[in-house]
Amino acid sequence: MVLTLILIGAVAAVYATACAALMMRLGITFRQALSYLPLKLLYRIDDRAVRIARKSEAPVVYVISHQSRLDAALMLSLLPDDTLHILDEDSAKSAWLEPWRELARTIAFNTEHVFVSRRLVRVLKRKGRIAVYMPEDVEPDVRSFRLYRAVSRIALQGEARVVPIFIDGARHLPFSRIDEATAPRRWFPRLRIGMLEPLTIPELVSRAGAAQPTASGALFDRLAEARSTTNLAGRTLFQAIVEAAGRFGADREIVEDVISGSLSYRRMLMATRVLASRLARTTAPGEAVGLLLPNSNGIAIALLGVHSAGRVAAMINYTSGPANVTSAIRTAMIRTIVSSHAFVEKAGLADIIEAAKAGGARILWLEELREGTSRLDKLAAFFLWRRPVGPQAADAPALVMFTSGSEHAPKAVVLSHQNVLTNAMQVEARLAIGPRDFVMNVLPVFHAFGLLGGLILPLLAGVKTLLYPSPLHFKLIPQLAGKKRPTVLFSTDTFLSAYAKAAGDQDFACLRMAVAGAEPLLAETRRIWMGRFGTRLFEGYGMTEAAPVLSLNSATHEREGSVGRLLPGVRARLEPIEGIDEGGRLWVTGPNVMMGYMSADRPGVIQRLEEGWHDTGDIVSFDREGFVTIKGRAKRFAKIAGEMVSLGAIEMLVHALWPEDKHAIVAVPDRRRGERIVLVTTAEQADANELRRRGKEAGMTELAIPQDIVKIEEIPIHATGKTDYAATRQIAIDRLGHATAA
C-alpha cells in the first residue's frame, strides 16, 4: 500500500512538474496545463506557434479552421483564459468536453444567427478576445461564406486584430468533421498548431497590395494562408511525400503510366531509395542532377530519388532543341543526367543526348541501374524506404526549371522545397481535390504547371495520377480518358480545344473539372466543355518563377474572363505603364516566388531577387473583389504611331470571329510606323474586311486592326501547348518580306 502511494505520488509529482513546464513555456494557467498535457502526449503536438496567440494584444479575434471535435479542447487549453469561445451546438453540448469548457467562457450559437448579435462587438470594444470556429471548407458554400463576411464585419467594428489558427493533422483524427474518403482516419496523428501574426482587417486588405480584396475575401485568404504555411512546414519534397504515404496508406496506388501500370507509395519509394543510394555515391550534396524522362512512373521515382539523396532536380526540356539543352546543362552545372534508353530510342532523342554530353554531362541509364541493383540494395530499400539517403533542408534548392521561352531564350529558375510545397498547399487551399479524385496529366513535367499540378500536388494529396507521355496525341487521349475515367485534368486551351474536337460525347463525361493555364482560356473552349461533357474549366495564371501558380478561379471564387484571385500569401503591386490607362505591370512576392535565376554568364550561381519581388512582365488589372484580368505581356504590346496596342486583345477578337481555327497576332518591324500588326492564322476564310468590321464593333482603333494576314497550315506551339511566338513572328517576316516588314 505504501509503495502504491509512493508510485502515485511520484506520478503526480512528474505530472505537476510537466504542467509547470508547460505553464512557463506557453504562458497558460495551471488548470489549462492539466487539461492540455494528455493531448500533448497523445498527439505529440508541435505548439511553438501558440506564443503568437498569447502575445496578441486585445481586442483580438482568433479564427480557427474547425476540422475536428478536438479543436475546441485544444483551443480552450491554449488560448488566454479570458477568451470567449463561440462553439457550435455539438461542442457546446458534448459531455466529454465538459472539463475543457470549464477553462474559459463559452457560448453556443446557431450558425444562422451567430454573428447578427452586437454582443461580440461589445466584447471586443471592451478589449476582449473571442474565438470563432469556421467550417473547414476549401470551397465554402454561400451559407458558410456568410460567416466570413460577419466575422470580418465584427472585427472591423470592434477594431480587433485577427489571428488565424490551423491545426495540421486534425482532419485525420477519428473524430474529424471531414468526410473520411477525403481525410483517412488515424488514431494518433501528429498535430501541429499553426498561427499567423495578428493583423487588423484593413491591414489584411492593404497587405495584398494592388489586389485589394474585400474584407471577407481577405479574411478567407488569411485563414487559407495559415493552412498553406502550416501544412508541410519545414519539410522537403521527399519528407512531405513520405508523410503523405503514412497519412493515406503506404499501399495506396498513387502513380500509373500506360507502360508500367500502377505503383503504390511503398513501391515508388523503394525504387526511389535504390536510385538515391546510387546518386549519393556518384554525385555531391546539393549538386544539380538532370532528369530527361517522359511522363511516366520513372519520372516520379527519379524526382524523389534526387531529393532523397539531397540533390537538386534539374528538369530537362528535351523538346527545346540541342542548343538549348547544351546551354541549360552548362548554366545549371549539371554533371549527371538520369534518362532511359527505351525513351531516348523511341522518341528519337539521340541528338539531345549528344548535346547533353557536349554540355559536360554523363548519362545514368535507368535500365543499367535496374540491372546493377544488388540484393543488399533491395533489402535496404525494403526496410528504409521512409528514410532519406542524403541531407534534407527545406530552404535549400529543390528544382532548377527552364522557362518555356515562348518569346526569348529559356531562363534557369531555381525553386526551393518550400517554394514548391507552399504553392501546392496554396492551390489545395483553393481547389477541392482529394483521395477520391483521379488526375490525368498529359502536360510534360519539365514544365512547371505539369510538374506541380500533374505530379507533386497529387502525390501530396493522396490522389492517384495517370502520367501520359505526350499531350499531342489528340485522338488517343480522349479514348484513354473514356477508359480510365479521370476526374481532374490539367491542360491548356490549345490542348483542351483539340481534345474536344477528337472526343466522343462520353469520353470526358467523367471529369468534374479541368484546370487551364499557360495561355488564355477562350470562351468557346469553356462553352464546348460544359455543353458536351458537363465539365467546368477553371482558368489560372502563373509562371515558372512562382512555382508556378499565382492566381486561380475556383467553384466559389470565379469570374469568367479573369484568371481568379491571387492565391493566399501572394502580394502584388502595379507599376504604371505609359499608354495604359487601366492596370499596370505586375510585380509579385510571396512564399512561392523563386529563390532566383541562374544565367549562362554566371553558371551555378543563384541571382537572388531584390527584396523578394519578381517582375512578371505582364500587364494586369484588378477589380473591386481582387479578381485578376490579364491585359497581355508587356512584350505582347506594340507601339503603333505612339499608341500602345495589346496583341493579346486582338488575338481574343480573332478567336471569337473564327473560333474553329488557330490564330496568333505578332508585331513585326515597320519602316514608317515602327511596328505593324500581323495576323498569322490557319483560317482559310480569314478576311481583312471582316476583321476590320468586327474590330470597329468592338471599339478598337484602326491602328489595332491587323493590316496583313498570313495563312499557314499549323501555328507553331511548344510542347507545353503555348504558342511559339518567336517562330510565328519569323514566319510572318519571311512571308511578308523584308521590304514590307523591315
Cβ atoms of 468 and 257 closer than 8 Å: yes
Q: Output the pLDDT for position 730.
A: 79
* Cβ atoms 548, 564 nearer than 8 A: no
Alpha-carbon distance of 550 to 426, in angstroms, equals: 9
Same domain, 160 and 113: yes
Domain that holds residue 398: 237-630
Highest mean pLDDT among 534-543, 554-563, 625-634: 534-543
Do 312 and 423 touch, CB atoms closer than 8 A? no
Q: Is 66 a catalytic residue?
A: yes
Confidence of residue 7 (pLDDT cuts 50, 70, 90): confident
Instruction: State the pLDDT at residue 739.
Output: 43
Q: Residue holding cell 460577419?
A: 150
- Of 519, 470, 542, the closest CA to residue 499 belongs to 470
Q: What percent of the chain has pLDDT over 90?
A: 41
740 by Cβ neighbours in 10 Å (0-12 / 13-18 / 19+) ranks as: middle
pLDDT band at 742 (very low <50, low <70, confident <90, very high): very low
Domain boundary among 189, 204, 230: 230
Could you give the number of structural domains in the chain? 3
**230, 264, 290: which is the final residue of a domain?**
230
Residue 634 pLDDT = 63
Task: Tell me how far the alpha carbon of residue 654 is from its chain's centroid.
Answer: 32
Of residues 411 and 738, more confidence is placed in 411
**pLDDT tier, 181 (very low <50, low <70, confident <90, very high otherwise):** confident
Average pLDDT for residues 590-604, to the nearest whole number?
90
Range of lowest pLDDT (131-145, 325-339, 492-506, 577-591): 131-145
51 with 166, same domain?
yes
pLDDT at 410 over 70: no
pLDDT of 406 > 50? The answer is no
Q: What gap in Å lies between CA 423 and CA 58, rounded to an integer?
A: 32
- Examine the pLDDT at 225 and tell me if it is beyond 80: yes
User: pLDDT at position 610, please?
Assistant: 83
Q: pLDDT class for 141, splitting at 50, 70, 90? A: low
pLDDT of residue 92: 82
pLDDT one-digit tens code per residue, 13-50: 888 888 998 888 988 999 999 999 999 999 999 988 88
Contact 163, 53 (CB under 8 A): yes
Q: How far apart are CA 304 and CA 276, in angstroms?
A: 8
- Note whether 483 and 611 are same-domain residues: yes
Report pTM. 0.85
Tell whether 720 is covered by a domain: yes
pLDDT at 167: 93
Give 365-391 pLDDT, tens digit per residue: 999 888 888 888 889 889 999 999 999
Statement to judge: residues 585 and 661 lie in one domain: no
The enclosing H or E element of 156 equals: helix 142-157
Mean pLDDT of 151-170: 92
Determine which one of 66, 417, 557, 663 is catalytic: 66
Mean of pLDDT values over 465-473: 91
**β-pair partners for 134:** 65
The C-alpha atoms of residue 723 and residue 712 are separated, in whole angstroms, by: 14
Q: Are 442 and 424 in contact (CB under 8 A)?
A: no
- Round to whole Å and give the CA distance between 418 and 612: 14
Whose CA is closest to 294, among 480, 438, 412, 467?
Answer: 467
What is the Cα–Cα distance from 645 to 310, expressed in whole angstroms?
A: 48
Joined grid coordinates for residue 485: 475515367
pLDDT, mean of residues 524-535: 89
Lowest mean pLDDT: which of 22-26, 100-104, 208-212, 242-246? Answer: 208-212
Give domain status of residue 742, yes or no: no
The CATH number for 697's domain is: 3.30.300.30
CA distance 618 to 585: 6
* 406 secondary structure, DSSP code: S
End-to-end CA distance of the chain: 104
Residue 682's CB: how many other CB atoms inside 10 A? 16
Cell 519545414, residue located:
234
Range of lowest pLDDT (399-403, 452-456, 602-606, 675-679) = 675-679
Give exposure, 128-146, as e/b (b: 16+ Cβ within 10 Å). Answer: bbbbbbbbbebebeeebbb
Greater pLDDT, 123 or 142:
123
Query: Quick check: is 339 in a domain?
Result: yes
Q: Are residues 22 and 114 in the same domain?
A: yes
The answer to whether residue 199 sits within a structural domain is yes
